[in-house]
Amino acid sequence: MMRTQRPGVLRAEHIGTRSTICGWVAHRRDHGGVAFLDVRDATGLLQVVVDPAKAGLDAVKQVRNEWVLRIEGEIKARPDGTVNDAMPTGQVELVADSFEVLSESEPPPFPLDDRVDVDEILRLRHRYLDLRRAPMQRNLRNRALVNKAMRAAMDDQDFVEVETPMLIASTPEGSRDFVVPSRLHPGSFYALPQSPQLFKQLLMVGGFDRYYQIARCLRDEDLRADRQFEFMQLDIEMTFASQFDVQTAIGNAVRAVVDVLRPGDAPEEIPRMTWRDAMNNYGTDKPDLRFEMRLLDLSAVFATTEFRAFAGAACVKGVRVAGQGEASRNVVDGLVERAKQLGAAGLVWMRVRDVDGVATLDSPVVKFLTAEEQSGIIDALSATVGDLVLIAAGEWKTTVGVLGQLRLELGRPAVTEGGLKFLWVVDFPLFDGLADDGTPIPASHPFTMPNPDDLEILEIDPLAVRAEAYDLVLNGWELGSGSVRIHRRDIQARIFALLGISPEQQQQRFGFLLDAFRFGPPPHAGFAIGIDRFVAIMSGEENIREVIAFPKTQSGADPMTNAPSAIEEVQLRELGLNIRKAPVKS
Ligand code: ASP
């Protein structure tokens, strides 16, 4: 037997027993000629005492960090004064009577402790060493627990796990595809799936009723801290289901995850908010509800104003920044700059000060406002002495967007309690805007069902049409999205016509789905949760790379394997590919 126990599990109850453990030397201290080794494996650390004066133990003098040892000895209580309560095994130590070096290690290129202030490229180049660190061990174990809890929740709800292919034709998620050249069909390419979207819809046509998959999705997008080229989703689809049924099923999966990783923090019911309310009140479609700071409407206050900056504006909104009334001029000027950077024409700030016992606005612009307007602001924002008030005016989406971003930047740092605020944002618009030629730009894929109540205005006022589309938001992050799908040919035809997708293009891009829909497509709806982000939030990590075993850098490279890299001339020839000399910039 290689080992009798794993080092991290040994406790006071094992005192007096014999034990053989295996692991890496995490630290070594020498004290009075005796070597104290912290030996690490996946279960944790155990202190091992090796006295080189004992027969056969002299070789411990050569042992260095990250060497792999097998050690046999007796579990003893640590002597008085050396108990370490910060360590789960801190009551005991293994006193060695023999050990064997299973493998040696060069000095590691960075210290393998809990600190993360090591250059990330260096960590990724030696990810196998980085993974030995406790935070990475914990994060990847969390990830396994999340997958397990979600699988169990979906199984319990009678969902069937089905795997969909990786080499496919293009999917309609609206990102750039990764493509794979075909050797057997030179000049032809597979696309890697941006999501299993079309296949899961085909599974519904195929009578599967309730499908799920822990699916890998690939999108060739510019990378940010919360993005990777490849990422994992809990992907689901249901037939004969409304958006509420989908939200219930996903809610159960989410609760199952929280119950495992943060027992007691699971929401009873996930609240719902319309997209319009989210935008109006928080200036974003993914509000962080861990703090309030709503954007409040001041249009009525300034309906007849003569103050140029607000007169005639489509939208005037304000936000109260509690207790920041005496922020320095530098800070408030910084906020004005930030607002302009975000696209606002300007930002008006006012301090709320006590003048003869009355809350009074103080700002260079106050002299342009009537007394009613001034008291109107204080009332509408419930502002009190000591507050700072920020007001922006202009086109609706920009105005709420700018104030929403300022709300986030000013309010989020004050959030100390790490609660979990889930939210369903529902009734997203079907279209994001109009292209230069007047064609509506779909907010999601073209199979998203319009709200039945808005069907009559589909062609007349497309931008006012709500979609049966919904997002799940957690602490201001978009955790996932989904929709009810179009299963009726007449509605689908109207959408394609609006989007200017010709019958030939329809056939070429998703002909197989449209063909399938000729044979009794059931009503269906679905959703996908981004697992990387969910695990990161549940693990208290800001960056999803911390919860991915082998992530790419922000430039999409893997410093360990050197991917992406050139391929051999013979491979190119087999694939019928020629590489152009200079990379073509699009
Ligand atoms: N396919 C969508 C996505 O990947 C999710 C869905 O609509 O079910 O975002």
What is the residue with the minimal CA distance to atom 9 of ligand 1? Answer: 481
**Is 3.50.50.60 the CATH classification of the domain at 292-411?**
no
To test the pocket of ligand 1, the residue of 170, 173, 430 to mutate (highest count of ligand atoms within 8 Å of its CB) is: 173
DSSP annotation of 197 = H
- Using the CB atoms, write b or e for 328-357: b if 16+ within 10 Å: eeeebeebeebbeebebeebbbbbbbeeee
Q: Are 411 and 293 in contact (CB under 8 A)?
A: yes
Tell me which residues have their CB closer than 6 angstroms to ligand 1: 173, 195, 197, 481-483, 526-528
- Cα(271) to ligand 1 centroid in Å equals 21
Residue whose structure tokens are 């795997």: 163
Question: In the structure encoding, which two tokens stand for residue 419, read together?
Answer: 């609660």
CA distance 80 to 127: 39
To test the pocket of ligand 1, the residue of 236, 481, 510, 529 to mutate (highest count of ligand atoms within 8 Å of its CB) is: 481
CA distance 193 to 216: 8
- Residue 500 backbone zone (phi > 0: left; psi -120 to 50: alpha; other: beta): left
Q: Coil, helix or strand for 87?
A: coil
Paired sense of beta strands 44-50 and 92-103, if any: parallel
Paired sense of beta strands 272-274 and 422-426, if any: parallel
To test the pocket of ligand 1, the residue of 177, 195, 426, 531 to mutate (highest count of ligand atoms within 8 Å of its CB) is: 195
Domain topology for 7-103: OB fold (Dihydrolipoamide Acetyltransferase, E2P) (2.40.50)
- Cα(65) to ligand 1 centroid in Å equals 47
What is the residue with the minimal CA distance to atom 4 of ligand 1? Answer: 195
- Cα(569) to ligand 1 centroid in Å equals 38
To test the pocket of ligand 1, the residue of 233, 428, 470 to mutate (highest count of ligand atoms within 8 Å of its CB) is: 233
Residue whose structure tokens are 């589909």: 458
Of ligand 1's listed atoms, the one at least distance from the Cα of 448 is 7
Q: Write out the chain's pLDDT in tens, 586 residues.
A: 899 999 999 999 999 999 999 999 999 999 999 999 999 999 999 999 999 999 999 999 999 999 999 999 999 999 999 999 999 999 999 999 999 999 999 999 999 987 768 899 999 999 999 999 999 999 999 999 999 999 999 999 999 999 999 999 877 678 899 999 999 998 899 999 999 999 999 999 999 999 999 999 999 988 776 789 999 999 999 999 999 999 999 999 999 999 999 999 999 899 999 999 999 999 999 999 999 999 999 999 999 999 999 998 999 999 999 999 999 999 999 999 999 999 999 999 999 999 999 999 999 999 999 999 999 999 999 999 999 999 999 999 999 999 999 999 999 888 877 689 999 999 999 999 999 999 999 998 899 999 999 999 999 999 999 999 999 999 999 999 999 999 998 999 899 999 999 999 888 888 899 999 999 999 999 999 999 999 999 999 989 999 999 999 988 999 999 999 999 999 999 999 999 877 656 5
- Cα(327) to ligand 1 centroid in Å equals 44
- Cα(476) to ligand 1 centroid in Å equals 19
| Residue-range domain boundaries for the chain | 7-103, 134-268+528-563, 292-411, 422-522
- Cα(22) to ligand 1 centroid in Å equals 45
- Cα(505) to ligand 1 centroid in Å equals 22
φ, ψ of residue 186 to 5 degrees: the values are -55, 140
What is the residue with the minimal CA distance to atom 7 of ligand 1? Answer: 482
- Give 146-149's long-range contacts (Cβ < 8 A, gap of 24+): 146/257, 146/260, 146/261, 146/531, 146/534, 146/535, 146/538, 147/214, 147/531, 148/260, 149/253, 149/256, 149/257, 149/259, 149/260
Of ligand 1's listed atoms, the one at least distance from the Cα of 482 is 7
Query: What is the model's pTM?
Result: 0.93
Domain topology for 134-268+528-563: BirA Bifunctional Protein; domain 2 (3.30.930)
- Cα(525) to ligand 1 centroid in Å equals 10
CA distance 275 to 396: 14
- Cα(425) to ligand 1 centroid in Å equals 15
Of ligand 1's listed atoms, the one at least distance from the Cα of 217 is 4
Question: In the structure encoding, which two tokens stand for residue 452, read together?
Answer: 């039945």
What is the residue with the minimal CA distance to atom 8 of ligand 1? Answer: 527
- Cα(203) to ligand 1 centroid in Å equals 15
